Each structure stands twice: as C-alpha cells, then as structure tokens.
C-alpha cells in the first residue's frame, strides 16, 4: 500500500475534538498533573496530527495514532522542562531528602529506623479514590521534571527501560538511579500525606 493512500478514508480531523479530546485530555492530565498544560498538549497533538496526516498508514486506529503523538508531546515537554533546571537534583516544590535520610551509611546502607517502608497492606485504606490520586499528583509534583517524566513513562505508561533511556537520552544506570530515588521520594510523601503512618 502506498504511504498515506487511505488517509482520507480513515482520518476524520473534523471529528477529533468531539471523539477524542476528553480521552486525550485525561491521558495528558494523568501524566503532567496540570490542567492548562494538558489542554495545550492536546492542542499540540491535534496540530501535529494535521501536519503529519500523510504519515498515517492505517496500521493503527485513529485514536491509537493520536495517543502516540500525544505521548511524544508529553516526553518532549519533560525533556524541555528538565533542561531548564540548573541541577538535575533541583526540585520544584521542596528540597528532596538526601539519600542518607533514607539509609544509614554506617550500617552497610540499611534503612534508617524512621524512614523504613511501612506496611501499607496493614492499613485499611482505599487507594482508588479522588483524594488518593490528588495526593499522588502532589507527590509527583515534588519530583524534578526529568525524574517525573522518567517515572511517568516507565511506571504509568509501562514503557521498557531501554525506550525510556532512549527518549530521555540517559544511561541504563542513570535510569535505575532516577527510578529508585523517585520511588523513595514518592513513597515517603504518600506515607506522610496520605497514609499518615
């Protein structure tokens, strides 16, 4: 099949806002946690799709194609935002606890008593609530932009580590350090602000 031959028959840009804007907005918002930014990313997605309509081959559905464009826009956002930081460890909301805060150097890197992970299963907490997701959003917002992008793509979008490394131009070891430290910080934030353990 010739590239873009069936584009007119399968793409319907006049219906994109009606059919996909709510879904795409929710997809973007869940990954960036900012209303205006999510709206802008969806608009950018639609514009990019219009400009690149000839690249649509029909191998995926129109919705899937739009989601892949939006995913690239979200990755681009995090890449741009992370280059604005003076330091890769700089945070937007508050200063992250040092690694030593969580682990005791003198005892071969074991957990500090106060920061050892709590038993979440022992709590009678419903995690599928709006309040939990708002707290999770706030905790994700404490991460540096690059960490947030890596964390989101890896854990929320279930992307393989090698894909995340390629997208963010980081090494495999850097990826695992970011994921480990981001998980530590998000867990500590949730335990303090949601579980109150």
Average pLDDT over the chain, rounded to whole?
80
The pLDDT score that the predictor gives to residue 78 is 87
Average pLDDT, integer, range 27-54:
92
Whether 83 shows a pLDDT value over 80: the answer reads no
Q: Are 43 and 72 contacting, i.e. CB atoms less than 8 angstroms apart? A: no
Query: % helix / strand / coil in the chain, to the nearest 5?
Result: 70, 0, 30
Average pLDDT, integer, range 9-22:
87
| pLDDT band at residue 181 under the 50/70/90 scheme | confident
Average pLDDT, integer, range 14-35:
91
Q: For 17-54, b where at least 16 C-beta lie within 10 A, e where not — what string?
A: eeebbeebbebbbebbbeeebbeebbebbbeebeeeee
Whether 62 shows a pLDDT value over 50: the answer reads yes
> What percent of the chain is predicted at pLDDT more than 90?
31
Strand 103-104 with 110-111, pairing: antiparallel
Beta strands in 38-118 (DSSP E): 103-104, 110-111
Lowest mean pLDDT among 36-50, 72-86, 110-124: 110-124
Q: For residues 157 and 155, what is the distance between their CA atoms, to the nearest angstrom?
A: 6
Lowest mean pLDDT among 81-85, 98-102, 129-133, 175-179: 98-102
The pLDDT score that the predictor gives to residue 9 is 45
Q: Is the entire prediction scored with pTM above 0.85?
A: no
The pLDDT score that the predictor gives to residue 158 is 86
The pLDDT score that the predictor gives to residue 97 is 58
Q: For residues 68 and 63, what is the distance between their CA atoms, to the nearest angstrom?
A: 9
Domains and CATH numbers, the chain: 7-84 (1.10.1740), 99-195 (1.10.10.10)
- Separation in Å, CA 194 to CA 127, 131, 187: 10, 9, 10
Query: Whose CA is closest to 50, among 2, 3, 14?
Result: 14
- Separation in Å, CA 163 to CA 89, 166, 169: 22, 5, 10
The pLDDT score that the predictor gives to residue 122 is 64
| pLDDT band at residue 197 under the 50/70/90 scheme | low
Q: Are 139 and 97 contacting, i.e. CB atoms less than 8 angstroms apart? A: no
């Amino acid at each position: 099949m010739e590239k873009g031959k069936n584009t007119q028959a399968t793409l319907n840009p006049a219906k994109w806002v009606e059919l996909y804007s709510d879904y795409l907005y929710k997809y973007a918002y869940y990954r960036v946690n900012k209303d205006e930014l999510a709206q802008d990313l969806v608009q950018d997605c639609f514009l990019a799709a219009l400009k690149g309509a000839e690249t649509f081959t029909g191998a995926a559905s129109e919705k899937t194609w739009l989601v892949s464009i939006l995913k690239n826009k979200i990755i681009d956002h995090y890449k741009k935002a992370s280059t604005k930081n003076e330091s890769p460890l700089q945070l937007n909301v508050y200063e992250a606890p040092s690694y030593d805060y969580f682990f005791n150097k003198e005892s071969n890197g074991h957990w500090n008593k106060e920061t050892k992970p709590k038993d979440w299963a022992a709590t009678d907490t419903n995690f599928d609530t709006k309040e939990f997701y708002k707290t999770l959003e706030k905790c994700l917002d404490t991460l540096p932009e690059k960490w947030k992008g890596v964390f989101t793509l890896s854990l929320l979008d279930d992307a393989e580590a090698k894909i995340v490394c390629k997208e963010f131009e980081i090494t495999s070891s850097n990826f695992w350090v970011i994921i480990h430290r981001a998980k530590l910080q998000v867990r500590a934030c949730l335990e303090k602000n949601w579980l109150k353990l």
